[in-house]
Structure 1
Amino acid sequence: MILIRRSYLCIKTLFRLRSSSFSFSSQVESRSETLERIAEELLNLTKIERYDYSLLFRHKLGFQKHGPALSGAISGDATGKSGSPASETKVAEKTAFDVKLEKFDTAAKIKIIKEVRTFTDLGLKEAKDLVEKAPVVLKKGLTKEEAGPIVDKLKELGATVVLE
């Protein structure tokens, strides 16, 4: 509907310019006649037909349901570059990971608490409370190299651990 309104405003502006004292070339006059014809046809449509037209128009321009799509023709005209959107956007690699304890074997609870104490600065009571709250994040903001040995050790003890 916004596109129809914008088209209407553009056509309205053309009518004003045409009625003013500016001189137009024959090419511009034929374009304005075409636009006048299109505007008349749009105004004669029913609401359902206008809605269908707006969907078709958005589809032809490359707009999707959730916003504009970056097609080569549209982005090439707007930015001066023509390329695929996949090559222009780079996916950021995750560098900071959180070690999350999902669940653990109750028989290995004491060993897991001791291991949690080794890589955190928690006392016995705090580590015990933390482990009993599972699922819980044990350590935040680690690199993959730092988190790997922790995850491996906890898995050896019978815990289910994930990197987030």
Structure 2
Amino acid sequence: MPPRSLLKLFNRSLCTSTSSSSTPNQSEKLERIADELVKLIKIERYDFSILFRYKLGLNKYGPSISGLASSSSGTSSAPGSTGADEKAVEKTAFDIKLEKFDAAAKIKIIKEVRTFTDLGLKEAKELVEKAPVVLKSGVTKEVGNPIIEKLKELGATVVLE
């Protein structure tokens, strides 16, 4: 809320506090919360603002409009129509995942991993030995398919996720 509306709310709660018994508790509660917020240090206030936005269902992009749209479309149309909307969105970025490899081809696979990553020999060896592991993230199908074919020829089981 903008500061003016907070002042109006505060003034309204002070004016009506004498007329009813439920508003003094409410104004005392608001005053106690305000006092606690004033006592917070800068980093705590920042953390509180993030937590408060999260609790309200807000994120850095604003209110969650996508959640509202899907709930309203589900009530106004057939329940199966939301699945069609999800299928219409096509994935463009994929991950190359090494699931397992032939032990005899380990050295060749490490060399091939070094060709499409910026890793040194030691890092590439450690990465390959951690299988199943994602070797490269955020690649397109055009870039990922040749890499997968080459690794499969060498004896690795690789998938494009």
**TM-score, normalised relative to structure 1:** 0.49
Structure label with greater radius of gyration: 1
TM-score, normalised by the number of residues in structure 2: 0.50
